[in-house]
Amino acid sequence: MSILIYLILGLLTSLLFPPYFFLPLGFIIFPSLCLLLDLNKKNHSDLNIFKKFLIFGFGFFISYLFWLKNPFFVFEETKNFFLFFLLLIILLSIILSLIFTIILKLGKNIPTIFLIPLIFTSSEYIISLFFYGFPWFTFSLPLSSNEYLLFPLKSFGTLFSSYLIIQIFCIPFIFLTKENFNKELRYLLFFITLPIIILFIYNFTEDKDNLKTKKINLEIFQLNFKNNDKNLTSEKKLNTIIKHIEVSTADLLIFGENNFPYLLDDLELKFIRDSLKEDQVLIIGATRYDNNKYYNSLINITSTKVTYFDKKILVPFGEFLPLRDSLTFLVNIVGPNNYSKGNKKRIINLPNNVSFIPVICYEIVFYWKLLNKFNSKSNFVVNITNDFWFGNYLGPYQHFYLTKIRAAEFDRPIIRVSNNGISAVIDNNGRIIKKTELNKAQKFKHKLLFQEHNNYVNFHFVFKVYLFIIFILITIYYSRKNV
């Protein structure tokens, strides 16, 4: 019976995330986990705890990441391999359970109401560092359901905000426990609130009034090319692109990831440059071939110049096959060639002293790898993607809302252009200004307003410092308590 409870709690946890956003469930799920954990850490073996939270993790990940099976069904050759997605689900569940067991063993004296957010946030952090693509698993994501809830991301970043939202969800546990935590809570909350107040003061004292506002007229093209449509030839695709370019009067034209239908083995692209009007800039995704290597690239084109950025964070089993010589049976899934990592700095300069941060597909989830001191003065982010692989329900919406929280965290507008949706202009507060529908060919124009930037906060570092401070304060508290 207890195993079933953990499975149900795991399944319900996924409902906090897009596209559901059933946030009131958090006030049931996390107090329940606190209560169960409080009993387990006193009366159960480590193996017992590991098994129970393994079931919780499986329930959560199988529901949250069920869309991972979709890429296998795009082509007939890969349909028989769809159960491979379960290996990742099981692996993530094991990691989550191990972290629960280890932290619970080391932190038995920490009040459970603080232990639960610490465990979940530590899991989020560890998984994001060691496993490709799973900063995708972040408890900041439920905040993206409402623009007013996104404010903590501006001050605290992704990890810190995850800790805060789980901590808030845990509050009803105070009324469920028989123990008197009042004294401990007053003491600990004082020291937890202190760094938060300091960060708020820092955020609000930062001078933003003197920043200059600029504007650019842009047009977004969501072409909705189907990857498995055999009747949609490369020639038809290119003609569609050229027609859109010829009738557009925007200053900046943006297409999706890999919308350019031919392999690029040079950067001449004269036929596209000739279609552009004077001072127009075109951004489009393409596969670039150079020195016997393939690159997933963002191509920036003007009438006189072509520049590019090659994707740096590649999708394993999508853009490259780890241990290709040993895993030859997976070639049907990945294809015969690996993509290579790019090595250019993540910034592209436009005319009139404007620059943007280029981001390709799921690179957008790696928040600590995108914004740095080198590109901190950039004006906005351009994220091109193709979510056709993600299915029609869970994956595209999770990817879109992860982009939404990144706009608030970076304090910059994000122009997101997906081949099949959802494409959008998102302002620097995470507010959706305009967007398209999923799986429809659409386009829209927008006058983008943006500011010059000088700010750069390494939130990943801030979170590590914060955890260290909390660890020291808890240690001091318990050492004094036991004197």
pLDDT attached to residue 61: 94
Domain count, the chain: 2
pLDDT attached to residue 451: 79
Q: Whole-prediction pTM value?
A: 0.90
31 and 136 housed in the same domain: yes
191 and 235 housed in the same domain: no
Q: Per residue in 237-260, pLDDT tens?
A: 999 999 999 999 999 999 999 999
89 and 133 housed in the same domain: yes
384 and 245 housed in the same domain: yes
Percentage of the chain with pLDDT > 70? Answer: 82
* Residue 249 belongs to some domain of the structure: yes
Give the H or E element holding residue 100: helix 85-106
Mean pLDDT of 387-402: 90
pLDDT attached to residue 478: 61
CA distance 170 to 151: 20
Determine which of 1-5, 13-17, 102-106, 320-324 has the lowest per-residue pLDDT on average.
320-324
First-to-last C-alpha distance (Å) of the chain: 42
Higher pLDDT, 326 or 352: 352
232 and 168 housed in the same domain: no
Give the count of beta carbons closer than 10 Å to the beta carbon of residue 384: 29
* Residue 459 belongs to some domain of the structure: no
Asked whether the predicted pLDDT for residue 114 surpasses 90, the reply is no
82 and 141 housed in the same domain: yes
The mean pLDDT value of the chain amounts to: 85
pLDDT attached to residue 146: 86
6 and 39 housed in the same domain: yes
pLDDT attached to residue 70: 86
Asked whether the predicted pLDDT for residue 359 surpasses 80, the reply is yes
Asked whether the predicted pLDDT for residue 207 surpasses 60, the reply is no
* Residue 407 belongs to some domain of the structure: yes
432 and 476 housed in the same domain: no
* Residue 398 belongs to some domain of the structure: yes
Determine which of 128-137, 355-364, 385-394 has the lowest per-residue pLDDT on average.
128-137
357 and 294 housed in the same domain: yes
Q: Per residue in 140-178, pLDDT tens?
A: 999 998 888 888 888 788 888 898 899 889 888 887 775
pLDDT attached to residue 81: 76
pLDDT attached to residue 190: 60
Q: Per residue in 62-81, pLDDT tens?
A: 999 999 888 888 777 777 77
Structural contact between residues 404 and 398, judged by C-beta atoms closer than 8 angstroms: no
Asked whether the predicted pLDDT for residue 205 surpasses 90, the reply is no
Higher pLDDT, 220 or 390: 220
* Residue 462 belongs to some domain of the structure: no
Higher pLDDT, 83 or 339: 339
Asked whether the predicted pLDDT for residue 179 surpasses 60, the reply is no
Q: Per residue in 124-142, pLDDT tens?
A: 888 887 766 567 889 999 9
Asked whether the predicted pLDDT for residue 221 surpasses 80, the reply is yes
71 and 159 housed in the same domain: yes
pLDDT attached to residue 125: 85
* Residue 40 belongs to some domain of the structure: yes
pLDDT attached to residue 413: 95
* Residue 242 belongs to some domain of the structure: yes
pLDDT attached to residue 189: 64
Q: Parallel, antiparallel, or unpaired: how do β-strands 306-310 and 293-301 relate? A: antiparallel
Give the count of beta carbons closer than 10 Å to the beta carbon of residue 109: 13
- For residue 75, what are the domain limits? 2-206+467-481
CA distance 312 to 356: 16
Residues 6+ apart with CB under 8 A from 144: 18, 150, 401, 402, 404, 405, 430
Residues 6+ apart with CB under 8 A from 384: 254, 255, 256, 257, 283, 284, 285, 298, 359, 360, 361, 417, 418
255 and 382 housed in the same domain: yes
Residue 458 pLDDT grade (very low, low, confident, very high; cuts 50, 70, 90): low
Q: What are phi and psi of 118, to 5 degrees?
A: -65, -45
Residue 204 pLDDT grade (very low, low, confident, very high; cuts 50, 70, 90): low
Determine which of 313-317, 326-330, 363-367, 439-443 has the lowest per-residue pLDDT on average.
326-330
154 and 235 housed in the same domain: no
Give all strands (DSSP E) within 71-193, no chain letters. Answer: none
CATH number for the domain harbouring residue 276: 3.60.110.10
pLDDT attached to residue 443: 96
* Residue 396 belongs to some domain of the structure: yes
Asked whether the predicted pLDDT for residue 324 surpasses 60, the reply is yes
Give the H or E element holding residue 371: none
Give the count of beta carbons closer than 10 Å to the beta carbon of residue 317: 17
Give all strands (DSSP E) within 264-406, no chain letters. Answer: 281-290, 293-301, 306-310, 348-350, 354-360, 380-385
Closest CA to 162 of 127, 197, 132, 198: 127
Amino acid at 146: N
